[in-house]
Structure 1
């Protein structure tokens, strides 16, 4: 049975800059986008607002709203602007403060997101994975427990698993509905332990993904992340997801098969990062269909080619239809 007529419904799950990069490309296509964003951040401006105003962290939500917005460059620059001075204002971005203000006015974080989405003419729907902030903890390989999304990668230890306190935490109803009705569910790219898994650990998210008849794909990171995925291959990323939420969550894995220029590679190696390699034999043996392409762009820093990723996603949707 093919997909119903109309715009394909694409749900993207993640957080951080990786999700924003993908959405900037995907919004140029005739698709109905829903972005489900992590609410585990506890560092910087987001962490301060989370603590002082008892609100979910707005930073990743802000970045996603801006990525999907139909705004002038000046407005985008204004929303991303961080104060460098001022008693209490230093470090805060205007976009974060706008979300905080709208939440105070409406009394609800989800409503605040909807209102700012209207102001910015956002092309799609942006939803937090849960209505309230979650606390992310990690058990390290030496048995110690580290609590705090921003602290975990700085511990200097290898991560065994991450977990959340599930008490009073459940997936947003709209997020569950979007996943079940989706034509495509895309997980990633983003920090494995602090952006991807915090979403999947929210009760109700994985169950909705499994129930959905959508085409499902995981976009593997192109570079390892210090303190999180040092030395990881694409297979290691999958092993971590399997150990947390089980396997067979998605059908496709999208990986980069392009090379990184030696000069750029050396620059990243100095920061403890290296390209994520993959074994076609291992991934196939695990039951995944591999989509490999040159997915890298370098412009001051390495990132995914949003246009090419979007083309791949649209191709998977057409194949499923």
Structure 2
């Protein structure tokens, strides 16, 4: 049976309004990307889910951990061979201590939904593992520590494949899109009144079965998930390396709109290059653009060798479909 080749997206923008972690450009990022998906990549607006913490948003459309995971799971559960799936996240990221035996970096990456119910690299790995054969999932994460956000995905462009450039000083006002682990731990401790530095204990107390699988699985099961994988159809374009921060630019003083540096760079690259670009080309050009702007972050690409050279958001033909 011929594939339907549906194009489906979940777009999440978290500005954390009226909190000490407030950002300004994240909702603008996903609104701009929604227009880009419709006009350039032929996404049907009905197939684009938008979750933001804009004041007045309904509880069902708030970017909580449970809502984000539900929308992603639904997108993947309904996917068929030939479908192009896209997840764009703009908001805070963080790093948490790793419980995996022999984990080389001692930290794992996570995004921070508006309710702080962390979604970890393990959650994204599990989503990619559920993809039907012939479907692809592209994740663009404009957040701090986003390199490696799909657990064990192969690095194509990252800290070990490209040397750092000499960055010039940053001229625009910006805020790092990161919430330190200690701040998250303090936030949870004040809510649970549990005296422990184990963040999983707090998350399970507050969110129960809606907490990340990373905190629900036993150590033995986590070790099983740490086995080598075959190439898959997960594609991650990260705003920075795992040890870096991503910038939230706020040029409001000059009358401009706030934006995420990486989201904006990708959109500028796409506008300046109307032809098809590979995933590798999008990341390299975005890196170069951020360097020209004097922004000290290095976007990365994680995916299979084949998908590194595949066209960004364009399903390649496969004779097995």
In the superposition, the TM-score normalised over structure 1's length comes to 0.35
In the superposition, the TM-score normalised over structure 2's length comes to 0.35
Q: Which has the higher contact order (CA 8 A, sep 6+)?
A: 2
